[in-house]
Structure 1
Amino acid sequence: MRMKHLPGLCLLLTACATTPREPEAVAEAYARALEEGRVGEAFALTASGPGEEAAFLERYSDAEARTARAAAVRAGASELEARAPSLTVAQTPQGWRVVEARPADVPRAALRLFIERVEARDWKSAWSQLSGPLRARYTPERFREDFERDPLAKERLRRARLALNTHVRVGAGEAVFPLGDDRAVRLVLEDGEYRVAAIE
């Protein structure tokens, strides 16, 4: 009876052995698949749904775009973080460690990640970090189009990066990075996560 199930068990073990499980291994497999032009395999390593595959394949049909994305993924792999509403773990030289963050560090990390995603042109991930009202107003594609058309978009992004070095006012349900002249970057707390509500 045990032998009867052996082929299925072998297939299961093979699948487990060939599917990367550690975050850095997934990142490297994704980068390598893009570099080698195996775009379908790269897509299989994303959390995207089937309806998004065509756009992904089109975006990375260009070798230059694949190379740039692979380089960006590898550059970020040494600073990987995994987050949940009540937990953040980060990659360190000693391995994965739980981050016991000070209150101001949490919105600062959220803003930094948003900026990095926009700069990497990872529009879907950046869009997911927008506040609820902004996500309702945009789609990832519309967010990209508006950013690329808005002549002030790069300036806003520059101000957001400058805000990372300012004092953060953390209040009930929001974090404000003041920039002077009545300008600020504002994040709001939604479902335990800080999301970008305004870059003024």
Structure 2
Amino acid sequence: MKPVRRLFLLLALTAGCATPKGPSVVAEAYAKALEENNLSKAYALTTGLPEGEPGFRERYADVTARRERAASVRASAADLEARGPNLIVERRQDSWRVVETRPADEAKAVLTRFLNAVEARDWEKAWSLLSGPLRSRYTPERFREDFQREPLAKERMRRARLALRGNVKVTNSDASFPLGADRAVRLVLEEGEYRVAAIE
């Protein structure tokens, strides 16, 4: 084999190794690490927690919690989506497709995901959809506790769900779903993605 050809092959192989792993591969590796009680590896595959790895280890110290989380990750892997500034890509069967949306549609989609997560008691998912200031003030566990203690929480979720049927006011920095009486569900744009900032 000629030196130039060998160099080209080596560069091609190196470039292939540097390619980021797809979302499905990462999700499966995370689920497997949880099942095997390899919490350092599992945590390394996350974006981290405010309480760091010790909080992650505490959360998944119980084998049942690890198994349930691994099962939920695998169940969701078929419906994965990847998001970035001005881009959403959804997994459809064995391929990825770009989602064409308008800003109002994106805001509605985020609010719907948030409300669905709260109703499903998926506090980690709901917390991840909060705005930066709210995420820094809460942890998923504290968010759950505050929600369950707040007597008007369910009513606010109901009104937010109804607001999805109405008009959305979109600006360059936020989206508002009017609730009447100068109240609104408000989402803000953070790094090109909507996050829930207020439910009243």
- Aligned match of 2:52: 52
Provide TM-score, normalisation by structure 2.
0.72
SS in 1 for 2:187: strand
- Aligned match of 1:121: 123
Q: Is 1:89 the counterpart of 2:89 in the alignment?
A: yes
Aligned pair count reads: 183
Aligned in 2, Cα 1:135/1:55: closer, same or farther, shift over 3 Å? Answer: closer
- Aligned match of 2:73: 73
Task: List runs of 5+ in structure 1 lacking aligned partners.
Answer: 1-8
Aligned in 2, Cα 1:35/1:133: closer, same or farther, shift over 3 Å? Answer: closer
**Contact 1:72 1:120 (8 Å CA) reproduced:** no
Aligned in 2, Cα 1:50/1:198: closer, same or farther, shift over 3 Å? Answer: closer
**Contact 1:69 1:120 (8 Å CA) reproduced:** no
**Contact 1:103 1:170 (8 Å CA) reproduced:** no
Q: Is 1:152 the counterpart of 2:190 in the alignment?
A: no
Question: Percent identity between the aligned chains?
Answer: 60
Give the distance between the partners of 2:155 and 2:76, measured in 1 at CA: 24
**Contact 2:81 2:89 (8 Å CA) reproduced:** yes
SS in 1 for 2:113: helix
Aligned in 2, Cα 1:163/1:28: closer, same or farther, shift over 3 Å? Answer: farther
Provide TM-score, normalisation by structure 1.
0.72
SS in 2 for 1:75: helix
**Contact 2:104 2:170 (8 Å CA) reproduced:** no
Aligned in 2, Cα 1:105/1:195: closer, same or farther, shift over 3 Å? Answer: same
Cα shift at 1:80:
1.3
Q: Give the aligned residue type for 2:166.
A: H
Task: List runs of 5+ in structure 2 lacking aligned partners.
Answer: 1-9
